[in-house]
Structure 1
Amino acid sequence: MSESNLPLTEDAVEREPLSSDFVNLNDDFSKFSEECAFSFDALAAVSRESECITPHTSEGSRHLCYWLKYQVIGYREKIDEMQDSWRVLNRRQ
């Protein structure tokens, strides 16, 4: 029986979606990282021109920081969940 015709083990079946989830998380994080770089550059530019900081600018900055904080928390939770899943799979071996 060739290697490609071997039946998949339970672990292999579980690893496939986990691997796909990892690729998706990596892609999402790359996009998020690019957004952060843009946002940080914008915040730095505004802070250099203090006369530009209006109440609307201040509220926008506050909102952006709040959004960033919870995005980071979400990524940390997804990474922790994936690590836990990999640990369970690796303990079976």
Structure 2
Amino acid sequence: MSESNTITPGALLDHEAKRKQLTSKSLELSDDFSKFSDECSFLCDAFAAVAREPECITPQTSEGIWHVCYKLKIQVRKYRDQIDTLHNDLRHFKLEQ
């Protein structure tokens, strides 16, 4: 039987370390996104309450809403990029097996 089909202990350790790293990244991203989702839910409720009382929408309120929406948009893009990176890492990891 050929020696090229055997897996070295070092390769197994590298594989396990990479698996643990990807698992950790995935769990951390999931936890972060869960918190972000809760914050978004709260903000959606707040925006809906403000919209029900249009007379309370001052220029400062409007500017604040714009600012929060912009920050949310940027954070959504960051999460999308982090998820894409994690998926690519997982694809490469799977191909290495």
The number of residues matched between the two structures is 87
Q: Name the residue aligned to 1:47.
A: 51
Higher Cα Rg, which structure: 2
Question: Residues of 2 paired with 1:84 and 1:31: CA distance?
Answer: 24
Displacement of 1:12: 1.6
**Post-superposition shift, 1:13?**
1.3
Q: 1:40-92 deviations in whole A, cap 9, x for unaligned?
A: 00001001100000011000100011011011000000000000000001011
Question: Which residue number in structure 2 is paired with residue 3 of structure 1?
Answer: none
2:61 is the counterpart of 1:57 = yes
% same residue:
51
Name structure 2 gaps, 5 residues minimum: 1-8
Q: TM-score, normalised by structure 1?
A: 0.89
Structure 1 runs of 4+ off > 2 angstroms?
none
What is the TM-score with the length of structure 2 in the denominator? 0.86
Structure 1: gaps spanning 5 or more residues? 1-6
Look up the SS of the partner of 2:19 in the other structure: helix
Determine whether 1:85 maps to 2:93. no
Aligned-CA RMSD value:
1.1
Instruction: Give runs of aligned pairs for residues 1-93 of structure 1, distance below 5 A.
Output: 7=9, 9=12, 10-93=14-97
